Amino acid sequence: MERPLTQHIHPDGTTRTLREYVKDGGYRCLQKLAAGLAPKDVQRLVTEAGLRGRGGGGFPTGTKWSFVPMGPDAPKPKYIVANGDEMEPGTFKDRVLMEGDSHGLIEGMILAGYALDAEVGYIFLRGEYHLSAQRLNQAIAEAYAEGYLGKTIPGTGFRFDLHLHSSAGRYICGEETALINALEGKRAVPRAKPPFPQTVGLWGQPTVVQNVETFYNLPHIVNHGAAWYHSLSHTQDGGTKIYGVSGRVIHPGWWELPLGTTAREILEEHAGGMANGVRFRGVLPGGISTAFLVEKHLDLPLDFSSLPPQVGRLGTGTMIVLDDHTCPVGFVLNLERFFARESCGWCTPCREGLPWVARILTSFEEGHASKDDLALLDMHTKWLAPGHTFCGLAPGAMAPLQSALQYFREDFEQHISRGRCPWSKKPAQLKVLV
């Protein structure tokens, strides 16, 4: 099984140097550009490869690029931005890549810049990723010294400059228009769309924001072609995916696997199954803005086009497992407290609605919730549905809540009928496992 993105990452966690990266074929695709691969050829390859954005939305990258104005009359400069905010709870895949193989991001960004004739790039990195920052800074310095950055790439007339921006917290920075405001030195509140960043983005210029993992795929697509890229996956979406698992499984971790691998394979074969003494109840497949999958969904291929929308979305591909020693209501309360805290406060339904949801869930945990509260939770999943708020944060917050109300409804009802959390008095919960 091929693992183009991660095969060279050192298992001991040490830095991979520029020399190693180049020895293993790194920056080789720049020669292809010099040999005549035109920007539109790179665009076409990416479209044919069926690359879908890895930031959670799964938007086709080639389609996104097609909205960028091209040609001699296009505005200058254009910007390429790597979204390395990675604050979605349960998600750690971009960190693995940035720490393990920093040059892959740089090479991917140069390629995107070339394809879109955009000469400046920013890596937007969450402030807590100090090791990533250190390694990326080192890699950027090496790439400048070698002339991959800051100098015309021989035979192309194209030159790319790259900057690292370390952020200062707040989950909303990961939303691409909020990210653009943050990069401009402003409060990270989302912007209205349209206009989309591809035409009016950073400092009013055309801007393409992609997830870090998305960029890592580009050099491999250019080097090996679209057919090879499709052969990596089990489904119609091309390539591999970095999947991860956390929660009470035997081996929490991450694995690069064919896109379309099932949750069952990931949980049982790679994560080693559930930890001793606990049973599986459900899983959020990719960060906390996704809906729960339960036993009956475990054999569905996990990619961006096979999961039926009424079931859920893959999201970031890093899963969080709910086990039977953990209260589902307490679990969802933790999620909604996160969302309430991280709401940017720009639009009323989210700013007011999320703390309300968290308060109601607290009343369940404290044992004084009523049937009306259950109905209120149901209502909120409609009030904060897509289209009712300014950005995707609040609808994302409703995905786990709505699915929990569907699959774990008896647990909510038991909190009401017993007047307490059925899990809270069990010393067993504290002792069984860590």
Partner 1 sequence: MLSETERRELEEAVKHYPDKRGAAIDALLTIQRRRGWISDDLLLDIAQFLEITAEDLDSVATFYNLIFRKPVGRHVAFMCDSISCWIKGCERVQEQIKNLYDVELGQTTSDGRLTLLPIACLGQCERAPAIMIDQDVHGDITPDTIEQIVEKYK
Ligand X SMILES: Cc1cc2nc3c(=O)[nH]c(=O)nc-3n(C[C@H](O)[C@H](O)[C@H](O)COP(=O)(O)O)c2cc1C
- Which residues here bind ligand X, judged by CB under 6 A? 53-57, 59, 83, 85-88, 172, 174-176, 209-211, 214, 391-393
For tokens 């099984």, the residue is: 1
Of residues 337-356, those binding partner 1 (CB under 8 A) = 338, 341-342
Q: Which is nearer to ligand X, 125 or 421 (CB)?
A: 125
Instruction: Give the nearest distance from C-beta 227 to partner 1 in angstroms.
Output: 34
Q: How many other C-beta atoms are found inside a 10 Å radius of the C-beta of residue 63?
A: 12
* Interaction of residue 318 with partner 1, rule CB under 8 A: yes
Question: Which residue ranges make up the site for ligand SF4 (CB under 6 A)?
Answer: 172, 190, 343-347, 350-351, 389-391, 393-394
* Interaction of residue 434 with partner 1, rule CB under 8 A: yes
d(CA 384, CA 398): 7
* 165: β partners: 124
In 14-152, alpha helices (H): 18-23, 29-34, 39-49, 61-66, 93-100, 102-116, 130-146
Q: Which is nearer to ligand X, 9 or 109 (CB)?
A: 109
Residue number of the CB closest to ligand SF4 reads: 350
* 124: β partners: 83, 165
Of residues 242-301, those binding partner 1 (CB under 8 A) = 244-248, 252-254, 288
Q: 3-state DSSP helix/strand/coil percent for the chain, to nearest 5?
A: 45, 15, 45
Q: What is the identity of the amino acid at 298?
A: L
Q: What is the identity of the amino acid at 148?
A: Y
Instruction: Give the nearest distance from C-beta 189 to ligand X in angstroms.
Output: 11
Instruction: Give the nearest distance from C-beta 269 to partner 1 in angstroms.
Output: 16
Q: Which is nearer to partner 1, 163 or 368 (CB)?
A: 163
Instruction: Give the nearest distance from C-beta 344 to ligand X in angstroms.
Output: 9
Size of the site for partner 1 (CB under 8 A): 53
Parallel, antiparallel, or unpaired for β 120-125 and 207-211?
A: unpaired
Q: How many other C-beta atoms are found inside a 10 Å radius of the C-beta of residue 398?
A: 27
Which three-class secondary structure state does DSSP give residue 120?
strand
Which among ligand SF4, ligand X, partner 1, none contacts residue 394 (Cβ within 5 to 8 A by kind)?
A: ligand SF4
Instruction: Give the nearest distance from C-beta 343 to ligand SF4 in angstroms.
Output: 4
Q: Which is nearer to partner 1, 26 or 90 (CB)?
A: 90
Residue 184 backbone phi and psi in degrees, to 5: -80, 0
Residue 212 backbone phi and psi in degrees, to 5: -55, -50
Instruction: Give the nearest distance from C-beta 60 to ligand X in angstroms.
Output: 8
* 318: β partners: 244
* Burial category of 328 from C-beta neighbours within 10 Å (exposed 0-12, middle 13-18, buried 19 and up): buried
Indicate the DSSP class of residue 80: E
Of residues 132-171, those binding partner 1 (CB under 8 A) = 163, 165-171
Which among ligand X, ligand SF4, partner 1, none contacts residue 237 (Cβ within 5 to 8 A by kind)?
A: none
Among residues 114, 129, 160, 304, the one that binds partner 1 under rule CB under 8 A? 129
Instruction: Give the nearest distance from C-beta 83 to ligand X in angstroms.
Output: 4
Q: Which is nearer to ligand SF4, 6 or 389 (CB)?
A: 389
Q: Which is nearer to partner 1, 302 or 335 (CB)?
A: 335
* Interaction of residue 324 with partner 1, rule CB under 8 A: no
Residue 182, token pair as written in the block: 């943050």
d(CA 328, CA 49): 39
Q: What is the identity of the amino acid at 23?
A: K
Instruction: Give the nearest distance from C-beta 289 to ligand SF4 in angstroms.
Output: 12
Which among ligand X, partner 1, ligand SF4, none contacts residue 109 (Cβ within 5 to 8 A by kind)?
A: none
d(CA 191, CA 173): 12
Q: Return the closest-CA partner of residue 293 out of 304, 278, 280, 274.
A: 280
Q: 216-245 b/e with 16+ CB inside 10 Å = b?
A: bbbbbbbebebebbbebbebebbbbbbbbb
Q: Which is nearer to ligand SF4, 172 or 232 (CB)?
A: 172
Among residues 29, 45, 80, 183, the one that binds partner 1 under rule CB under 8 A? 183
Instruction: Give the nearest distance from C-beta 235 to ligand SF4 in angstroms.
Output: 31
Q: Which is nearer to ligand SF4, 190 or 301 (CB)?
A: 190
* Interaction of residue 83 with partner 1, rule CB under 8 A: no
